[in-house]
Structure 1
Amino acid sequence: MKKVAFQTDIYYGKNALDYLKTVSAKRIFIVVDPFLKETEILEKIEGYLSEGDNVWRLFTDVVPDPPIENVAAGVEAMKDFEPDFVIAIGGGSAMDAAKAMKDIARKVYSIDQLPLLAIPTTSGTGSEVTSYSVITDQNKGVKYPLTADSLIPETTILDVELVKTVPKPIVADTGMDALTHAVEAYVAKNANDFSDAMAEKAIRLLFDYLPKSYQNEQDEEAKEKVHHASTLAGFAFNTAGLGINHSIAHASGARFHVPHGRLNAILLPHVIAFNAGIHQNHHQYITPAAERYAMLARLLNLPAANHASGVRSLIKEIEKLRKKLDIAANLKEYQLEYNDEIEREIAEASLNDSCTNMNPVKPAPQDITAILKKIR
């Protein structure tokens, strides 16, 4: 017997933030990206909360790739304030930090209920509906994906007004992160009919609307469709799992501090080739994952006379999308310190990452280093 559960209530559409008017008489701990603290977004949210006789405290010391120390500081602030409600506002770092803070505080201080409301201001992480939170050990240079159902936000607000002015590079990076979530979920070991449906819809929306969202800040329909696709992809990978694309991105990101979505975008064609088996010589050792990738190619109306050609069509289409988003094909522009020893360390961290468990093909250390060499 298996179980699929979607535990988050989603409010979306025009004036979705109006849901905040229903929150009343709460002590609210708000975790917010620091760049939002002087913006109209936060002012609007606080205005709604003030109507409900709420009191709140802001935690704005969120940093990218939230380190353990940052989460610990938030837990201490929660202990001092004693909230009964948590709101996370921002991108993936704010979401991950708030989820970890809330879960640790609830367990350490024996709090029975501490609901979390997520309000994403970027379109990519899917963290607003998932049981994952990624935190970083800066001393070791390692990212740790935490996984627990208690990390899933009870409520999410998807309001397109909050993503209309996101800078273009972030639109590109987060959008490709969402695409990677959906593609990895589609071939993951725990993929099923329910995750497939959400992954397929997310993939179609992203190929159709992400370039439009990137090119035109005023295209509200494209912004909204990409925002919804991110959440759909979140549901998909939360049900099915991810794979080594994210494992390598976690390990590389902790070491090099390259944006997570950008790493995913650079890695994705190479990971697809590895999982499908077409990285081999002309004898074409094709893996079962190749059939799944070919199904995605057909979904996008790409040439797919057989599994191998379908995989290659999908890879080419991803590379074309990446080019439209002005994302490079490798890491050369970052001028990183990158040698064989570092590759081995990243490979080891990737293999130990929990996302690797759901990859459709079990990788060896040399498989990871081969992929890393391709993106140098």
Structure 2
Amino acid sequence: MSSFAVKTKVFSGVDAFEYLKGYPIQNVYIITDPFAASSGMIKNLTDVLDQMGAKYTVFSDVVADPPMNVIIDGIAQAMEVKPDSIMAMGGGSAIDTAKAISYFYMKIAQVPKPFCVAIPTTSGTGSEVTAFAVVSDKEKNVKYPLVDDIMLPDVAILNPKLTLSVPPAVTADTGMDVLTHAIEAYVSTGATDFSDTLAEKAVQIIFKYLPMAYDNGNDIHAREKLHNASCMAGMAFNNANLGINHSIAHAIGAKFHVPHGRANAIILPYIIAFNAGMRVISKEDCSYAMRKYAKLAHLMGVGAGSNRQSVKNFIQLVEGLIDALGIPVSLRDQDINEDDYKGFRNIIAENAMADACTPSNPRVPTTHQIRELLDMCYYHTAL
């Protein structure tokens, strides 16, 4: 038995903010990052709220890899504001922060869930349509994925104009996060025909439009396509879950603060090869993952006569995209000292094994295999 649900109502396009006028919003708690607040980007939202006669309070202390102290501060202010609506504007960190604040505010204040609106300003996390939020414990250098359907936003506003200011490097990193979401959801043990359809479309869009947006950030058509792909991949993995690509990226990001999408990109070719049993002939049955990756290869026009060769071709396609986006090919290229890497390798592997994304990976890894994969990613071992 399988299930598929899309709770969040999605409004897309350059006039998407206008749809908010159809909701009885009166007291809004806006959670955003300093750039969105100081650059004037937030006016896209507040101008509409002013027209609606709604009052609002802005919390703009969001930082990357949202730490618990920021979330605690946000909860304290929410207790004072008592909002009927919580709106997040920003990248994945802003939306995850808003989800966590809303979640704990409900628990602590014992109040119904505020109406939740997510407004992404990057095309990457898909957090606007997922029940996931990742928070960080800075003291322990650990990232904790929170998962609860109550954190699903009620509405997502996809306005591509908000992404025009995203620099090329961030466009590349977040776009590769989308691709990883789609590919991992596609081969997940929880995949269904419904999630596969969204994942396949997201993969096609990313390969076509991510290089366009990277080369020309003002290409509004490419930006809109990436925004849509990010949302579709989010719907796919919210239903199918992810895998060890994200588990390892979470653990690496917590210890070495590598941007999440970049970590995913560096890891991705190795995870595809591992899941498909490509690097060595595996004693395990890796045929499920191999068949699914081969289907993606055929979808992208690089399929071959055998599944094994098709997967090799797909890995090369992924590597070509990574190269075109100027993303480093190894963790060592991220200025991670070798002694530091060796000192944290075991902890990273253990944290990856304990990550919430690991159980749905198509091939069950051991801690030793995670360590081997980490070494390959650090030293850029040839596949």
- CA displacement, residues 13-72 of structure 1 (integer Å, 9 cap, x when unaligned): 231122233345511000011111122321232111011111111101111000111111
The answer to whether the Cα contact below 8 Å between 2:2 and 2:192 also exists between their aligned partners in 1 is no
What letter corresponds to residue 111 of structure 1 in structure 2?
A: V
Structure-1 separation of matches of 2:245 and 2:156: 26
Distance 1:27 1:368, change over 3 A: same
- CA displacement, residues 80-134 of structure 1 (integer Å, 9 cap, x when unaligned): 1111100000000000000010011012111123111000000010000000000
- CA displacement, residues 150-194 of structure 1 (integer Å, 9 cap, x when unaligned): 010000000111111211111000000000000000000100000
Number of the residue aligned with 2:362? 360
The answer to whether the Cα contact below 8 Å between 2:30 and 2:57 also exists between their aligned partners in 1 is yes
Matches within 5 A, 1:31-42: 31-42=31-42
Cα drift, residue 328 of structure 1: 1.0
Aligned-partner SS, 1:166: coil
Structure-2 separation of matches of 1:290 and 1:243: 15
Number of the residue aligned with 1:65? 65
Range with greater deviation from structure 2 (42-51 or 318-327): 42-51
Structure-1 separation of matches of 2:326 and 2:240: 30
Aligned-partner SS, 1:143: strand
Structure-2 separation of matches of 1:29 and 1:309: 52
The answer to whether the Cα contact below 8 Å between 1:275 and 1:287 also exists between their aligned partners in 2 is no
Number of the residue aligned with 2:352? 350
Matches within 5 A, 1:82-161: 82-161=82-161
Number of the residue aligned with 2:53? 53
TM-score (norm 1): 0.97
The answer to whether the Cα contact below 8 Å between 2:242 and 2:357 also exists between their aligned partners in 1 is yes
The answer to whether the Cα contact below 8 Å between 2:198 and 2:232 also exists between their aligned partners in 1 is yes
The answer to whether the Cα contact below 8 Å between 2:205 and 2:225 also exists between their aligned partners in 1 is yes
Aligned-partner SS, 2:52: coil
The answer to whether the Cα contact below 8 Å between 1:71 and 1:101 also exists between their aligned partners in 2 is yes
Number of the residue aligned with 1:14? 14
Distance 1:46 1:277, change over 3 A: same
Aligned-partner SS, 2:250: helix
Structure-1 separation of matches of 2:53 and 2:219: 36
Structure-2 separation of matches of 1:243 and 1:268: 11
Aligned-partner SS, 2:248: helix
Number of the residue aligned with 2:381? none
Q: 2:373 aligns with which of 361, 365, 371?
A: 371
What letter corresponds to residue 71 of structure 1 in structure 2?
A: I
Range with greater deviation from structure 2 (94-103 or 66-75): 66-75
Cα root mean square deviation, aligned: 1.5
Aligned-partner SS, 1:6: coil
What letter corresponds to residue 326 of structure 1 in structure 2?
A: G
Aligned-partner SS, 1:40: coil
1:308 paired with 2:308, answer yes
Q: Percent identity?
A: 42
Aligned residues: 376
Matches within 5 A, 1:251-330: 251-280=251-280, 286-330=286-330
Structure-2 separation of matches of 1:117 and 1:308: 44
Aligned-partner SS, 1:354: coil
Distance 1:335 1:39, change over 3 A: closer
TM-score (norm 2): 0.95
Aligned-partner SS, 2:176: helix
Aligned-partner SS, 1:227: helix
1:26 paired with 2:26, answer yes
Range with greater deviation from structure 2 (262-271 or 297-306): 297-306
Structure 1: 5+ residue stretches without partners = none
- CA displacement, residues 310-369 of structure 1 (integer Å, 9 cap, x when unaligned): 111110000000111100111223221334341111000000001001000110111111
Number of the residue aligned with 1:187? 187
Structure-1 separation of matches of 2:283 and 2:53: 69
What letter corresponds to residue 38 of structure 2 in structure 1?
A: E
The answer to whether the Cα contact below 8 Å between 2:102 and 2:113 also exists between their aligned partners in 1 is no
